[in-house]
Structure 1
């Protein structure tokens, strides 16, 4: 009798200790990762509680880094400047696997079925396709040494990207990932520097650094080829020195309009998404870097290049007027909205701080320590195209 009682107590104690040792069960939808560029780490954060949960080190050179997520939001794939591709488990807060896949990489994408991770490379150029579970190399698409920019996912396990030196847009059909098919669109303009895909996957838009204008591909009607839009938006005005290249992403699309940074000018360009004709310009505080629409599309937030990178401005979409100018910190490098837009998180590199702002009141509601933070990436991206 005593032996059975001791055995039962021992079993209960083991279960209790195991429960204490195991992390609590939770989903991933309220999580995110923040790039800490100086130490080569990502900080894992919880959005609702506005707190840090942990840190994962050993991710290499993150001076320019981006992140995509697995379909379930559990794994973050981190693309580093040194060509490293890292798979991070955001629940267990650990580095699962890391491969050195290029000499210089600035971003990537994940396929519509979540099985293929694609890395875009500066050095030696080209795009590499990896198995999302194992990071096994599936295929490599050579671009003849031209830098790859603006890689974006499209429906049907396709990817679009631009070539900086070659001045082309390429589409990859990766439905057979070990034998991808490539369609090339040449002569799109000089030096495409970034690209975005609309959230329905229909349009791919490449910004041009070498001339005033953008290149547009309608993926529903690819036989029509690439057409130019917003030609000559800077005509007759001398461009200012460009201290930081602007960024294009799908979140700069708000309702019927696209809000786009003007290179070398203190302006945000507005184009009608049906005709892709310019409809207005908004004078802003400095040279815009990110032009990001709130999830509801009512307002657009803009941050700026040096020396105006301590400022963020908010544009009201219906009136096309600036309705707020904020000074949330030094060197605001990135902004990220919560999935439904109740708050926006901002990284202040020079203050070693994350600032969380209530989008309804524009008041600061939280601040978190971070070591030279840059990109902020929330797991809701796992369910969006063009992210």
Structure 2
């Protein structure tokens, strides 16, 4: 299927945006810069790809400040360009290595214009963009290759709009399959055979690892801007439903897991913890609960964790669990009962008992926690713990998460260690003596191209260099994942600089010695990667 530009795709689905792109019917004043035609479409695309995640589709602000004309016009074109190019001390990264001068000028102009609200999306419109490439009855009944597919790494190739399927035994790239743009995460069927991805463009895809080569079997667009996906794993509903969450429109959609046919859509607009109405209440993260037929729908701006019972989707039962804004990513403890999620710009981790469907704790861990897929391990002092790195400071904080065996430690800080810079991800494995953590958000290559490895017993940190690419590559080391055996750690090198996207690679380390074993090259902007066996067994 030929991929449309983001704006062109939206144009085909709604008159309001079509009017905006053509310059008709906008509320833009005449006393500030304007864009029309190709320049406006290009600016729309850049904003969607690089800015909307933090500042919101409607530019009203989220984890980043608002970018509305009443704010941006006062700053002026030149100062806006400088801020975009150089970043800010508040945490916005510099874009001078990612966008060229013309693109920076376009975005500085764009954010001085009145924002236009994109259209809503109905199930009928979703079905117009739903395709089954291989009917379920025509799928293979056994693997069509002799590879150890349970040790495959399903790898996001962010800016290519692809997933790379990499053989963990041979380190070969088995295939690259087209998915949505800037996939954030991939989730597995209960047996690990099928993988579901959600692109930032709202494209939900299903991949079959048994095919030779692995390929997409179905897809559907459930939003214009989206982020996460989950699969039902419980009881008689195992592998029956897939849920996708939208940033815009702010809603979640339940689809048939076999074909991805959209079945139900539910808006997430509502009130935050202060009782203020939130129009752009985005679905940040989605999870299946191991112990009940429910999905966890985390509504970013309202601070509401919705536990949605899928046992009867015609009569949805929803528990609304109040926590803190702004919900982001989370993970379960090793028992699968307790859910641990970052309310990142509230500087808290939030803890939910998914059996009682109630919040059991909140903890200030440091400046902007971001655990990604998280990590659980045993600490010699506190017993079972989990941890997070932080976007706002070089720190990893661990807390107790065993309320039955260690009630005095539950949901309380066990210890904290300082790293050299703020990070995005940490990861471990039961067979490993280590916790690996990245420092992706530090601005300097001599920090962000290194990772920290912590000894679980001594809490001692050891820096490990992943790459040494020159500054023009704008490359960072990010996202660790163990192999099936738990004796290798795979780290992505995300090269973001103009003209250098294909310099991305994955560096494979021996976990015990921390020595490099292999490099998998030729990967365009690799970020997250998911080992089939570890993810289906919920290891780490």
The bucket for the TM-score relative to the shorter chain is 0.7 to 0.9
Classify 1:381/1:119 alpha carbon distance in 2 versus 1 (closer, same or farther; 3 Å): farther
Partner of 1:65: 184
Partner of 2:229: 108
Partner of 1:267: 395
Task: Choose from 416, 435, 450 the match for 1:281.
Answer: 416
Distance in 1 of aligned mates of 2:376 and 2:189 = 24
| CA displacement at 1:96 relative to structure 2 | 1.3
| CA displacement at 1:381 relative to structure 2 | 4.6
Task: Choose from 502, 519, 537 the match for 1:367.
Answer: 519
- Which whole-Å deviations, capped at 9, do the CAs of 1:168-206 have from their partners, x for residues lacking one? 1110111224443211112x1232222222242211122
- The answer to whether the 8 Å contact 1:87/1:97 transfers is yes
Partner of 1:31: 152
TM-score of the aligned structures, taking structure 2 as reference length: 0.61
Q: Does 1:128 align with 2:253?
A: yes
- The answer to whether the 8 Å contact 2:166/2:172 transfers is yes
- The answer to whether the 8 Å contact 1:299/1:314 transfers is yes
- The answer to whether the 8 Å contact 2:487/2:510 transfers is yes
Alignment gaps of 5+ in structure 2: 1-142, 270-279, 379-383, 403-409, 469-474, 496-502
Partner of 1:310: 449
Q: What is the total number of aligned residue pairs between the two structures?
A: 351
Distance in 1 of aligned mates of 2:466 and 2:160 = 26
Of residues 104-113 and 188-197 in structure 1, the stretch that sits farther from structure 2 once superposed is 188-197
Q: SS in structure 1 opposite 2:201?
A: coil
| CA displacement at 1:42 relative to structure 2 | 1.7
Matches within 5 A, 1:86-235: 86-90=205-209, 91-92=211-212, 93-112=214-233, 113-144=238-269, 145-155=280-290, 156-186=292-322, 188-222=323-357, 225-231=358-364, 233-234=365-366
Q: SS in structure 1 opposite 2:533?
A: helix
- The answer to whether the 8 Å contact 1:294/1:301 transfers is no
Of residues 205-214 and 345-354 in structure 1, the stretch that sits farther from structure 2 once superposed is 205-214
Classify 1:50/1:286 alpha carbon distance in 2 versus 1 (closer, same or farther; 3 Å): same
Partner of 1:294: 429
Q: SS in structure 2 opposite 1:29?
A: helix
Distance in 2 of aligned mates of 1:327 and 1:39 = 22
- The answer to whether the 8 Å contact 1:79/1:85 transfers is yes
Distance in 2 of aligned mates of 1:293 and 1:340 = 12
Distance in 1 of aligned mates of 2:255 and 2:329 = 22
| CA displacement at 1:146 relative to structure 2 | 1.0
Higher relative contact order (CA 8 A, sep 6+): 1
TM-score of the aligned structures, taking structure 1 as reference length: 0.84
More strand by share: 1
